[in-house]
Amino acid sequence: MSRIGKKSITIPAGVTVTINGDQCTVAGPLGTITKRVEPKLTYKIDGQALHIENNNTEAMYNAYHGLYRQIIFNMIEGVSKGFEKRLTINGVGFKVTQKGQDLVLNIGFSHPVEVKAVEGITLSCDKNEIIVKGIDKELVGQVALKIRDIKPVEPYHAYGIYYSNETVVRKEVKSGKK
């Protein structure tokens, strides 16, 4: 039995959770998210708490128990608080500008790179920092990763795009002496 799956989820005020068959819909002050959940697990809403029970003996459902509990928890947190990832751009002459909903990156290529906004995600910039916000944790992470993959960080001078809380491992420069 999953230790994470056994924990109940507290539903904050202003958030509603509806589970119909294999669809879970969470609505809150920031928006609404609908995702598929495992129908063989039992979902019980008692007032302001959601309990997930696993009555199956297969090992696969023990993993699903914790997984779907965390997915629903992230949905509730997303519609009540939202999620955000910050990326830092480092390099000589590297800059980012906002063009409507989209971002334009000048990061050492022969052409500017345009990053299109995805539905449900807000992109913004501040000097050398990109801020990705949204209510879906999975989508925020995917968009931030796509932006990061445009120019991976280079290990000698730390030029490139990386997460603000990421530790960049720098390599020692070759000395040229034998």
The 10s digit of each residue's pLDDT in 141-169 is 999 999 999 999 998 888 999 999 988 88
Whether 101 and 142 share a structural domain: yes
Q: What is the spatial distance between Cα 17 and Cα 6, in angstroms, rounded to a whole number?
A: 18
My answer on whether 75 and 34 are in the same domain is yes
Q: pLDDT, tens digit, for every residue of 67-118?
A: 999 999 999 999 999 999 999 999 999 999 999 999 999 998 999 999 999 9
Domain shared by 74 and 92, yes or no: no
Q: Does a structural domain hold residue 148?
A: yes
User: Which of 40, 55, 80 corresponds to the end of one domain?
Assistant: 80
Mean pLDDT, to the nearest integer, of 124-146? 95
> Which structural domain, as residue segments, surrounds residue 105?
83-163
Residues 104 and 71 occupy one common structural domain: no
Boundary of a domain, candidates 44, 60, 80: 80
Residue 140 has pLDDT above 80, yes or no: yes
Identify the band that residue 63 occupies on the pLDDT scale cut at 50, 70 and 90. Answer: confident
Long-range contacts of 36-45 (CB under 8 A, 24+ apart): 37/68, 37/71, 37/72, 38/64, 38/68, 40/64, 41/65, 41/68, 43/19, 45/11, 45/17, 45/19
Position 17, amino acid: V
Residues 117 and 89 in one domain: yes
Position 178 scores a pLDDT of: 65
Q: What is the mean pLDDT of the chain?
A: 92
Residues 6+ apart with CB under 8 A from 63: 2
Q: What is the CA radius of gyration of the chain?
A: 21
User: Does residue 42 register a pLDDT over 80?
Assistant: yes
For 155, which DSSP code?
T
Total domains, the chain:
2
Stated pTM of the model: 0.88
Q: How far apart, in whole angstroms, are the C-alpha atoms of residue 8 and residue 4? A: 9
Q: Would you state the pLDDT for residue 21?
A: 87
136: domain CATH number is 3.90.930.12
Q: Is residue 176 part of a domain?
A: no
Quick check: is 169 in a domain?
no
